[in-house]
Amino acid sequence: GENVEQHPSTLSVQEGDSAVIKCTYSDSASNYFPWYKQELGKRPQLIIDIRSNVGEKKDQRIAVTLNKTAKHFSLHITETQPEDSAVYFCASSDKAAGNKLTFGGGTRVLVKP
Amino acid sequence: GAGVSQTPSNKVTEKGKYVELRCDPISGHTALYWYRQSLGQGPEFLIYFQGTGAADDSGLPNDRFFAVRPEGSVSTLKIQRTERGDSAVYLCASSLAGASNEQFFGPGTRLTVL
């Protein structure tokens, strides 16, 4: 089955700096890659996603890149703010397999004011 | 509109007891997923429904776990003879299968088995 590895497990940045989280996946059939933000005790919230037919997607301060050949994708947060502090999860899925999500282990991001 | 809801929000039970966890998906979402999230880890897939039928139950850890969705809307996850290792947050998600991959998560049920 699919395996998703996520690094780093924790990330501390100064407010205003950039944060980068990287994930690798194993199943070449995976075609959808969402990123979720989860605050303590809350539900995972989708912040951005990318499909396998594009290499990059941007939404304000958040961007995601995908390298299908290398089977890795990354989340980039620019101009970080204290409210960006949370746990971020990458995931992958294959529409042909019912879209069940396989998650990475998560990255705890702390933005220091 | 209303998002995915789950009840109860917290459930404390004793080892060996039976529990039921309920999920109300977003209206009109035909696909429903159950995940389990242990402390400090990412959610792990349990089971996926397309309509009333379980399309993929490969993530259920053993036969003590069972889920139903009799009318294609509300789903119930049932755990028999609970064990301490079952303690986790059980998350439900729904999506418009076929139109979008995006899954919308509920707030979860925190299950504690004493």
Q: What is the C-alpha to C-alpha distance for residues A28 and A67, in angstroms, rounded to an integer? A: 11
Question: Among partner residues A44, A49, A99, which is closest to B105 by beta-carbon distance?
Answer: A44
Question: CA of A42, closest CA in chain B: separation in Å?
Answer: 6
Q: State the average pLDDT for chain B.
A: 94
Contacts of A93 in chain B (CB under 8 A): 101
Return the pLDDT at B85: 96
Q: Which of A7-11, A13-17, A53-57, B73-77 has the lowest mean pLDDT?
A: A53-57
Sign of CA dihedral B46, B50, B54, B57: negative
Which residue in A83, A94, A2, A78 sits closest to A45, CA to CA?
A83
- What is the predicted pLDDT for the residue at B98? 58
**Residue B96 near chain A (CB below 8 Å):** no
Closest CA to B72 of B50, B45, B55, B48: B50
What single-letter amino acid sits at B28? G
What one-letter code names the amino acid at A105? G
Task: Check CB contact under 8 Å for B48 and A103.
Answer: no
| DSSP for residue A93 | B
| Pairwise CA distance, residues B78 & B54, whole Å | 14
pLDDT tier at B1 (50, 70, 90 boundaries)?
A: low
